[in-house]
């Protein structure tokens, strides 16, 4: 791509526009979009206008929001009208959601009354719901059609639809009755009725279902498209796999950000301003900084223990770090399993039992190895070594159970389990491990 970009830039510089067009029209739409985004605005618009109309629409879909806005601002009304007519409905909705008001007004000017009504309906669905993701670009069939009539219907109405591989069977009131694949239609007797070959036991989602739940349906049933219905089970649209891939990517990014104690952001890292990045991180850092004062207060409370046996201080970082790491391991596995639907709320005791057994094995192994290290290598007295290793064992057990339980509590409270990730777990485990440490030390060292 770098060599091609240099070559295209050189051709533009020398005003060899015919050669530029001849080269880029053979590129993949994604690669053309990447190339355009690497050009200066004036050159980008020039290259975009060189593209054949149909190719220009495909390329437009792959441009980032900033470039889409600049392109719409720069092209004329006739070009905008063609673009809007050719865009799939769900792509147009995505575009309208991201554009500023003046651009939206410019786009809507070229839509008819029926389109505007549909657009307003889609824009009124809650953000991140199935309704906000769906498209109306699908083929529906009546169940009393013959196979021959159904195929003729697909030929007539399926030309500009987003998918025709799966057709949706409805009754007179548009209630979803079943689905039928194009393959099955082609291979069936032309005189049969659609209802005789359709599949009735189907997966579907409601317009108000959260996009994360929709993604789970796609994964569970290995779908390339899922029908979306309203409260009366009337077919209102479909969601295709390309849209749900974007959702999965977005949800994973959001979880990673929450697990790192940051406010989620949908913007790309390099496109996000410094002040925005700082704001997204600052709130959680302040919360965690304040919560860390509990740890300081615990150390102050047991100051007499530390003054009596100063060497105990040397092992505090190791205990706290090990506890935090152990809790993060459990939390990461549980959060991921919840996201994939492998763990339900009813499985809480199974999870606790499993993590308890794992933590006993891990805690004992770490405590034993640590005892050998500090007793034989560092020559620490046996009672101090014992106090450190007993604390280490209980810290690991506690951390792993806390790391497993907190995400499940969050899910039960309808919160995102990712907010219960490593920073919060580390704070909880640090405080409790110090209490255990100093309490054990008092007993074993007779302080």
Extents of the domains making up the chain: 2-124, 140-240, 269-445
Burial 203-231 (b: 16+ CB within 10 A, else e): ebbbbebebbebbbbbeeeebebbbbbbe
Q: Note down pLDDT in tens along the chain; length 447 residues.
A: 567 667 777 777 777 777 777 877 778 888 888 888 877 777 787 788 788 878 888 888 888 877 888 887 777 777 777 777 777 776 777 776 667 666 666 666 666 666 666 766 676 788 788 888 888 888 999 999 999 999 999 998 888 787 888 999 998 888 999 999 999 999 999 999 999 999 999 999 999 898 888 988 888 888 889 999 988 898 988 998 888 887 777 766 666 565 555 555 566 666 677 787 677 667 767 776 776 777 777 777 777 776 667 788 888 888 888 988 888 888 888 887 887 778 887 888 999 999 999 999 999 999 999 999 988 888 888 888 899 999 999 999 999 998 888 888 888 877 777 665 556 777 788 888 888 888 888 888 876
CA distance 261 to 284: 6
Topology annotation, domain 140-240: CBS-domain (3.10.580)
Q: Which two tokens stand for residue 131?
A: 């309704």
- Tell me the CATH class for 2-124: mainly alpha
Taking CA atoms, 344 is separated from 130, 317, 412, 427, in Å, by 22, 35, 10, 26
How many CA atoms does the CB half-sphere of 394 hold within 13 Å? 15
Nearest to 327 by CA among 395, 260, 252: 395
pLDDT at 283: 72
Neighbouring CB atoms inside 10 A of 13's CB total 9
pLDDT at 252: 66
3-state SS track over the chain? CHHHHHHHHHHHHCCCHHHHHHHHCCCCHHHHHHHHHCCCHHHHHHHHHHCCHHHHHHHHHHCCHHHHHHHHHHCCHHHHHHHHHHCCHHHHHHHHHHCCHHHHHHHHCCCCHHHHHHHHHHHCCCCCEHHHHCECCCCEEECCCEHHHHHHHHHHHCCCCCCCCEEEEECCCCEEEEEEEHHHHHHCCCCCEHHHHCECCCCCEECCCEHHHHHHHHHHHCCCEEEEECCCCEEEEEEEHHHHHHHHHHHHHHHHHHHCCCCCCCCCHHHCCHHHHHHHHHHHHHHHHHHHHHHHHHHHHCHHHHHHCHHHHHHHHHHHHHHHHHHHHHHHHHHHHHHCCCCCHHHHHHHHHHHHHHHHHHHHHHHHHHHHHHHHHCCCCHHHHHHHHHHHHHHHHHHHHHHHHHHHHHHHCCCCHHHHCHHHHHHHHHHHHHHHHHHHHHHHHCC
CA distance 353 to 308: 39
Domain 269-445 has CATH 1.10.357.20: yes
pTM of the model: 0.56
pLDDT at 194: 94
Nearest to 423 by CA among 293, 284, 251: 284
Taking CA atoms, 66 is separated from 48, 222, 268, 299, in Å, by 15, 34, 12, 52
């Amino acid at each position: 791509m770098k060599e091609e970009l240099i070559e295209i830039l050189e051709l533009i510089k020398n005003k060899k526009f015919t050669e530029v067009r001849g080269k880029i029209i053979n590129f993949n739409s994604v690669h053309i979009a990447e190339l355009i985004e690497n050009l200066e605005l004036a050159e980008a618009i020039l290259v975009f206008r060189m593209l054949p109309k149909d190719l220009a629409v495909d390329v437009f879909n792959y441009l980032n929001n900033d470039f889409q806005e600049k392109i719409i601002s720069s092209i004329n009304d006739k070009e905008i009208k063609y673009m809007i007519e050719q865009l799939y409905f769900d792509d147009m909705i995505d575009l309208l959601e991201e554009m500023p008001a003046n651009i939206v007004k410019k786009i809507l000017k070229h839509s008819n009354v029926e389109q505007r009504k549909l657009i307003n309906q889609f824009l009124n669905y809650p953000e991140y719901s199935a309704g906000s993701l769906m498209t109306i670009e699908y083929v529906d069939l009546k169940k009393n059609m013959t196979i021959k009539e159904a195929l003729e219907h697909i030929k007539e109405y399926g030309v500009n639809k987003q998918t025709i591989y799966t057709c949706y069977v409805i009754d007179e009131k548009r209630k979803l009755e079943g689905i039928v694949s194009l393959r099955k239609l082609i291979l069936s007797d032309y005189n049969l009725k659609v209802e005789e070959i359709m599949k009735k036991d189907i997966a579907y989602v409601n317009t108000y279902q959260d996009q994360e739940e929709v993604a789970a349906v796609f994964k569970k049933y290995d779908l390339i498209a899922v029908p979306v219905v309203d409260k009366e089970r009337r077919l209102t649209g479909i969601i295709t796999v390309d849209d749900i891939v974007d959702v999965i990517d977005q949800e994973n990014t959001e979880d990673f950000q929450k697990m790192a104690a940051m406010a989620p952001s949908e913007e790309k890292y390099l496109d996000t301003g410094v002040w925005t990045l700082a704001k997204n991180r600052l709130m959680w850092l302040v919360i965690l900084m304040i919560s860390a004062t509990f740890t300081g207060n615990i150390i102050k409370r047991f100051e007499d223990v530390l003054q009596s046996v100063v060497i105990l201080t040397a092992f505090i970082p190791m205990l706290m770090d090990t506890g935090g790491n152990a809790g993060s391991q459990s939390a990461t596995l549980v959060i991921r399993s919840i996201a994939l639907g492998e763990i339900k709320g009813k499985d809480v005791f199974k999870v606790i039992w499993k993590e308890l057994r794992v933590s006993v094995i891990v805690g004992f192994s770490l405590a034993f190895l640590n005892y050998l290290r500090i007793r034989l290598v560092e020559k620490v007295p046996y009672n101090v070594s014992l106090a450190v290793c007993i604390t280490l064992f209980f810290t690991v057990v506690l951390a792993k159970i806390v790391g497993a339980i907190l995400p499940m509590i969050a899910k039960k409270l309808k919160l995102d389990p990712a907010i219960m990730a490593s920073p919060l777990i580390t704070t909880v485990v640090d405080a409790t491990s110090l209490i255990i440490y100093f309490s054990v030390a008092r007993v074993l060292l007779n302080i």
